[in-house]
């Protein structure tokens, strides 16, 4: 048996998120089905995290255990041949037997894209949140750095079935920045981990700042309140990308 690590990119528009769900087409489910066909038996694929419905990835990391001796390059070609065009396997490597994409990760980077023009091109509508309304962009930009640091992010976390287990909602954000590109606002955040809908809720709150319902200096108060009702609405999944997942150098890869 060998442990195989995959780096994946996908357009999440037509999928019901990453995680397998009965009766729904998901990224994980689609990959597992093909891997199981190649293996000739059930294969369980673990990802670095669960992206929501409509959310995209440029560098999702996943891993599974297989007995199939197919060379890595051939495995990558086979997967890309049978996968829908919305999912691509960017790289395949062998990892140590205990590699866990979620628990071994030390940082993840997400990016959220907001289209600001009056008209949204049909060629980018799947990959942005179109927001052509009045917005104080300077306030939006100024508020973003306030999320950096170690905080309890309960105000920005959606309800989760695991809440009854009373897991900590403290996370460390290494960097949080917003900037302009032609016709767009971009929010980019890198952290130790993220709660359900957290990035989309951060963006929703930045939009509330831009609309004048909060000022940038309100962010520490919202964090301290630990009250989801005080945070902004959840921004649409279409604008969100999982950019990359980082691992310590001690996580050894071979082959590829």
Report the catalytic residues.
Answer: 52
Pairing of strands 56-66, 240-246: parallel
Q: If DSSP codes are grouped into helix, strand and coil, which group holds residue 149?
A: strand
Within a 13 Å sphere around the CA of 137, how many CA atoms are in the beta-carbon half?
A: 16
Alpha carbon distance 14, 86 (integer Å): 8
Tokens of residue 150, six digits: 């170690």
* C-alpha separations of 220 from 146, 151, 167, 229, 231 in Å: 7, 9, 22, 15, 12
Residue 92 bridge partners (DSSP): 6
Alpha carbon distance 51, 16 (integer Å): 9
DSSP string, 179-220: EEETTEEEEEEEES---TTHHHHHHHHHHHHHTTSS-GGGHH
Tokens of residue 193, six digits: 């981990």
Virtual torsion, Cα 145, 237, 31, 78, nearest 10 deg: -80
Q: How many residues does the chain have?
A: 256
């Amino acid at each position: 048996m060998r442990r195989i690590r995959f780096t994946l990119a996908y357009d999440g528009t037509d999928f019901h998120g990453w995680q397998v769900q009965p009766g729904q087409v998901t990224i994980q489910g689609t990959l597992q089905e093909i891997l199981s066909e190649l293996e000739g038996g059930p294969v369980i694929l673990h990802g670095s995290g669960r992206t929501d419905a409509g959310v995209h990835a440029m560098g999702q990391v996943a891993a599974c255990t297989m007995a199939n001796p197919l060379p890595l390059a051939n495995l990558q070609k086979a997967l890309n041949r049978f996968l829908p065009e919305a999912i691509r396997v960017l790289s395949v490597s062998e990892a140590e037997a205990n590699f866990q994409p979620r628990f071994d990760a030390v940082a993840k980077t997400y990016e959220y894209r907001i289209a600001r023009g009056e008209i949204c091109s049909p060629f980018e509508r799947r990959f942005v949140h179109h927001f052509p309304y009045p917005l104080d962009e300077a306030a939006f930009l100024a508020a973003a750095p306030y999320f950096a640091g170690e905080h309890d992010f309960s105000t920005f976390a959606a309800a989760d079935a695991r809440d009854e287990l009373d897991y900590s909602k403290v996370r460390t954000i290494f960097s949080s920045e917003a900037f302009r590109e032609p016709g767009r606002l971009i929010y980019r955040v890198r952290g130790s981990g993220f709660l359900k809908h957290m990035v989309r809720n951060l963006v929703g709150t930045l939009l509330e700042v831009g609309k004048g319902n909060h000022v940038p200096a309100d962010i520490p108060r919202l964090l301290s309140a630990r009250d989801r009702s005080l945070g902004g609405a959840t921004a649409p999944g279409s604008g969100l990308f999982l950019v990359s997942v980082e691992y310590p150098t001690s996580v050894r890869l071979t082959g590829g």
